[in-house]
């Protein structure tokens, strides 16, 4: 495993080579991490030390300045190996973009310097028990000295091992803000309890904030980001789409390998003289080919969406430009989610009963796909895509499309 912080990749080719090496290392332990369900300290440390955390940091701040095309490809490669580790920096890349879009020069200088040193940003955005996802109970009190944060966050992917945690909260005027606190700040308590059936190695537990002191210079007016056209949310969704594409490809690859190397032919097919080995079974081949085609389509849509975003600024000049980029990502994410769930489920129909042996760990693909695919509703993505096709209506300007 990579253990010392690497220099920032010099170009996209170098970043992809690093991603390929890291993916090979991650793949070797993916089944064990899934079974263990604990915090994957070594794997995430290798990610942090790889230099990949800095690929989207602007060149003016010492990063590679890469756009969505490279980001999607890097995440896809890591997700084929272990989608839980690939999801670890999802919030990190989101907040690199947020800082680039609306951060002050001092915020950019300070936080980007840490990112270049391999220090990851975790997220604490979601909450449980509220009426809906945006019904936040966490509060930022700026009237005291110092300002303080109080509340409980859930699904805090990456925060258990991050240097910084980006926390969403409402201030005294009920305005949406982001405050950056350190994982080890007094009053920050991390909960490792994570019961999800899939993406187990994300350990997306809770963050409890008990009057945590906040540096006023590390507070962002997050609401302002969504009061103008933006593609920050679409770029965050692109990472999720790349994770789904990676899960889907891994499921098809493992299904093909199992069919060719371990599956037994159906006895009736042998008795009729139709096949002598499972890899000649026409029904299995049809199902495998169908899933392979779906995954190839999802990969193509991912690349198309990434290129669309590549040509669109973080803060476009008009709503339609931003919306069309977001819809391209929504299309890729929806198709990838469906393809991943289908391919991971069909793996067992292709491989037969022996493929369900828990020792093989093939069930992790379906559990990962199903768990990750419900991160935000695919049905609403198709809804907005349909609306645009009917009369060009624009989707809402938020971070989940």
For the chain, the structural domain boundaries read 12-119, 124-222, 232-391
On whether the CB atoms of residues 201 and 82 are closer than 8 A, the answer is yes
Does residue 5 carry a pLDDT above 70?
Answer: no
| Whole-number percent of the chain with pLDDT over 70 | 99
Whether the predicted pLDDT of 38 surpasses 60: yes
pTM comes to 0.97
Looking at domain 232-391, its CATH class is mainly alpha
- Residue pLDDT, tens place only, 117-161: 999 999 999 999 878 878 899 999 999 899 999 999 999 999 999
Residue by residue, DSSP assigns 174-213 as --EEEEEEETTSTTEEEE-----SSSGGG---EEEEEEEE
- Mean pLDDT, the chain, as a whole number? 96
Name the band, by pLDDT with cuts 50, 70 and 90, for residue 2: very low
Residues in the chain, overall count? 401
CATH class of 124-222: mainly beta
Q: So what's the architecture of 12-119 in CATH?
A: Orthogonal Bundle (1.10)
Structure-block tokens of residue 73: 């490809």
pLDDT at 132 (0 to 100): 82
- Conformational region of residue 37, where left means phi above 0, alpha means psi within -120 to 50, and beta covers everything else: left
**What is the pLDDT at residue 6?**
60
How large is the average pLDDT for residues 23-37?
97
* 44-66 residue pLDDT tens: 999 999 999 999 999 999 999 99
Of 1-10, 20-29, 97-106, 349-358, minimum mean pLDDT range: 1-10
* pLDDT 10s digits, 76-88: 999 999 999 999 9
- Per CATH, 12-119 and 124-222 having the same topology is answered no
CA separation for the pair 98, 85 (Å, rounded): 22
**What kind and span of H or E run contains 10?**
none
Kind of pairing between the strands at 121-124 and 164-170:
parallel
């Amino acid at each position: 495993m990579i253990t010392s912080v690497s220099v920032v990749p010099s170009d996209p080719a170098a970043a992809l080579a690093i991603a390929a090496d890291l993916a090979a290392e991650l793949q070797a332990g993916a089944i064990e991490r899934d079974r263990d369900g604990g915090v994957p300290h070594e794997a995430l440390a290798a990610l942090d030390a790889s230099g990949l955390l800095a690929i989207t940091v602007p060149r003016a701040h010492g990063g590679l300045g890469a756009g969505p095309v490279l980001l999607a490809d890097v995440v896809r490669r890591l997700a084929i190996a272990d989608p839980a580790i690939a999801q670890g920096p999802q919030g990190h890349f989101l907040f690199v973009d947020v800082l680039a879009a609306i951060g002050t020069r001092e915020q950019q200088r300070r936080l980007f310097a840490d990112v270049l040193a391999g220090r990851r940003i975790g997220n604490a955005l979601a909450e449980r028990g509220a009426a809906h996802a945006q019904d936040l109970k966490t509060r930022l009190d700026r009237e005291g000295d110092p300002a303080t944060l109080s509340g409980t966050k859930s699904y805090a992917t990456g925060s258990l091992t991050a240097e910084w945690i980006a926390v969403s909260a409402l201030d005294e005027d009920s305005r949406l803000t982001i405050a950056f606190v350190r994982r080890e700040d007094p009053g920050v308590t991390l909960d490792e309890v994570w019961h999800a059936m899939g993406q187990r190695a994300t350990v997306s537990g809770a963050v409890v904030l008990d009057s945590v002191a906040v540096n006023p210079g590390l507070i962002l007016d997050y609401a302002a980001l969504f009061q103008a056209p933006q593609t920050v949310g679409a770029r965050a969704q692109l990472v999720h789409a790349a994770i789904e594409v990676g899960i889907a490809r891994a499921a098809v690859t493992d299904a093909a390998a199992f069919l060719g190397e371990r599956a037994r032919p159906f006895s009736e097919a042998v008795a009729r003289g139709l096949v002598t080995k499972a890899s000649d079974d026409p029904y299995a081949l049809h199902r495998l080919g169908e899933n392979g085609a779906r995954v190839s389509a999802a990969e193509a849509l991912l690349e198309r969406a990434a290129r669309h975003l590549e040509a669109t600024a973080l803060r476009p000049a008009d709503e339609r430009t931003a919306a069309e980029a977001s819809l391209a990502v929504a299309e890729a994410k929806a198709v990838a989610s469906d393809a991943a769930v289908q391919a991971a489920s069909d793996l067992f129909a292709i491989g037969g009963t022996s493929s369900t042996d828990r020792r093989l760990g093939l069930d992790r693909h379906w559990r990962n796909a199903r768990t990750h695919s419900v991160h935000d509703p695919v049905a609403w993505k198709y809804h907005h895509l349909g609306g645009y096709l009917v009369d060009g209506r624009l989707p809402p300007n938020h971070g989940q499309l």
